[in-house]
Structure 1
């Protein structure tokens, strides 16, 4: 039985390792999420601070001021001894200087020695290069920003690079695509440590539209459509997204935009980086995810609204792509949102 002074739990120390050129959002976003979690934990304990709060520590190889990608300077401590240092989480932050850092032998040796002693190790953005160089991603799945994925895959063939994921957990190794996805991963860590309710509260304070699971695509079909350079392709892509319930086909799209099917496929693929058929499938899947997470409509109805020919076809395609059933995906999405199901 507790007597005397209040019980104080050991804080969860998070060592955030940054370098010159680090992307500021990769630093500030997760740290702010952990800070907000601390405030909520304190409020729950009447301001006593008795819960296992987060203690974030900024460090760099030499310590001192670090100039980020936004030309903002952050003060850092030097990296602690990898053996005697005690950290719950080591988080590596990517940015413009990552190529040089990933080839720094002294830093890689430190990482190899420190990683096994942490409960988890995470990378935000291009810091995945450093983890890969240290051998921490060999044989593991890894999320990588779409701009660096090919380079990472080519340099480290033992790493299973995933571009269609915001973040990936593989054992105690966590990787995020970076930028806003770094906040998504931080929320996921908070949920792991303190439960869904706290993570949801932090997401609300940050005005996040929702807590996104790691398997969400980095680039939505709608965003791809908006960023197409050729007006005709942009219009075609936008039409697919907004009319997915009409079950567009490559043939019908080519006819609508007065092009031969072969030429339409060639121009669309060159502009969008994927075939029109693959884009249609992506738009269907995104629409289905939105309906599953945000409605209580029957599965067959969602299938039709998302452009699938039948509920059975929808279920098969969904399971093949995501490895789960529409019903299970819905239950998990509603649980994450704290809704009844």
Structure 2
């Protein structure tokens, strides 16, 4: 099985090396790196990588799996007519086409996003929506599969994507073995979202607020009213409210709700627990409350969220 990586000046080096290591540890893959011209290619961090092939040297009909790296150089790269044309030709012959992070913009320049559900790094979501209204942009998942087109979020998400491609080729056991070798999760906790708690939340600065936050994260479904959190922090409710908002940027009630939503998203994506039972376990009280919160925060019902995320791996 052959995997062809596309890089260019100022590409993100981990977009190449992360997936390359996954395929290398899985074994059985013929890996090659292609650039606009063969030779050294500077990454955005300054680390040079060697491309053994230029696009003019690689017949597009010899590409089986195509993986396009992202990086800050992607905007210049998509103005390279020869590179974009080669990607478009290779995509017509490839069994699968994938992008990491902002590499999706090169796929867009090659005309490959029409009617497709895709993702990218959260910081470029609005740009992707604006420049490619023909695509259905969903920047919640770590990666998205739409038929033979696979796209992923930023940087390390390329590793998740590569593990899923290995699983698609050779089954769960082979992908799991590669993940263990790399000391990676085959399915990282919360892998359905780029916006897990450590990303969207500031870190508390003081021990009392750390204690309150730790209690919420340890058991999202427990009682976390203002008075309960104040008791855990050893502060008065008014003092906790003020300190919590100052250190984390949100009031306690909003923080608790968001942590519960994150826990619900993981549970919906990874299990079959009924929505009503899940709502009770995670502190929402009723399934109707959970549905209202999901519609307000995510614009989708819990059942639809479960179906959507599972479809990122199962759609053919």
- TM-score of the pair, normalised by structure 1: 0.71
- Residue deviations 1:233-255 (CA, integer Å, cap 9, x gap): 99987665445223557999999
- The alpha-carbon distance between structure 1 residues 214 and 192, as it changes in their structure 2 partners (threshold 3 A), is farther
1:259-298 paired onto structure 2 within 5 Å: 271=249, 280-288=256-264
1:114 is displaced (CA, Å) by 1.8
CA contact (8 A) 1:221 1:279 kept: no
- The alpha-carbon distance between structure 1 residues 67 and 290, as it changes in their structure 2 partners (threshold 3 A), is same
CA contact (8 A) 2:44 2:73 kept: no
- Residue deviations 1:169-213 (CA, integer Å, cap 9, x gap): 111111001322101010100111001111111111111134249
Distance in 1, Cα, partners of 2:210 & 2:79:
40
Distance in 1, Cα, partners of 2:100 & 2:133:
20
1:1-341 paired onto structure 2 within 5 Å: 12-38=1-27, 53-76=28-51, 77-80=53-56, 85-212=61-188, 216-227=192-203, 240-242=216-218, 244-246=220-222, 248=224, 256=237, 271=249, 280-288=256-264, 303-310=279-286, 320-321=301-302, 323=304
* Structure 1 unaligned blocks of 5 or more: 1-11, 39-52, 333-341
Distance in 1, Cα, partners of 2:71 & 2:274:
44
Distance in 1, Cα, partners of 2:220 & 2:109:
42
Distance in 2, Cα, partners of 1:60 & 1:143:
23
1:219 is displaced (CA, Å) by 2.4
CA contact (8 A) 1:13 1:55 kept: yes
CA contact (8 A) 2:44 2:71 kept: yes
CA contact (8 A) 2:96 2:148 kept: yes
CA contact (8 A) 2:225 2:253 kept: yes
1:280 is displaced (CA, Å) by 4.6
Distance in 1, Cα, partners of 2:61 & 2:114:
25
Distance in 2, Cα, partners of 1:249 & 1:146:
32
* Structure 2 unaligned blocks of 5 or more: 231-235, 295-299, 311-316
Q: What secondary structure is seen at the aligned counterpart in 2 of 1:91?
A: strand
1:308 is displaced (CA, Å) by 2.2
- The alpha-carbon distance between structure 1 residues 151 and 69, as it changes in their structure 2 partners (threshold 3 A), is same
Residues paired across the two proteins, number: 299
1:65 is displaced (CA, Å) by 0.5
Distance in 2, Cα, partners of 1:251 & 1:100:
55
- The alpha-carbon distance between structure 1 residues 236 and 98, as it changes in their structure 2 partners (threshold 3 A), is farther
Q: Aligned Cα RMSD in Å?
A: 4.1
- Residue deviations 1:109-159 (CA, integer Å, cap 9, x gap): 222222111011100011111111222112211111111111221222222
